[in-house]
Amino acid sequence: MVKGFSDDEVRNDAELKESKREKKGLAAFLKGKKFTYTLPGKKQINIFGSIVLGLNLILILLVILYLKNQEFHDFIFNVGR
């Protein structure tokens, strides 16, 4: 007998019965659906990248304005109440 192997065949009937149980809920709904993931194209990457960079730039400008302009600072302070 080779080390690590058994002459007796191991049967996992319990696991087979569990996998054949009827699925319920979301799993049953998605059972017949085929989902595939596709990588975004260059155009989509550029659009999302531009949105993220634009929003970060706006955030930086608002922070600078908050720190430098007392009227804007008071406005933000009063809106936060």
- pLDDT digits 0-9 by tens, 36-73: 778 889 999 999 999 999 999 999 999 999 999 999 99
Q: Please, which residues have CB within 8 angstroms of residue 73's CB and are 6 or more apart in sequence?
A: 66, 67
pLDDT value of residue 46: 97
| pTM for the predicted model, two decimal places | 0.52
Q: How far is CA 28 from the centre of its chain?
A: 22
Residue 15 in contact with residue 23, Cβ under 8 Å?
A: no
Instruction: Give the model confidence (pLDDT) of 13-28 as tens digits.
Output: 555 555 566 667 777 7
Grade residue 35 by pLDDT with cuts at 50, 70 and 90.
Answer: confident
**How confident is the model over 72-81, as a mean pLDDT?**
90
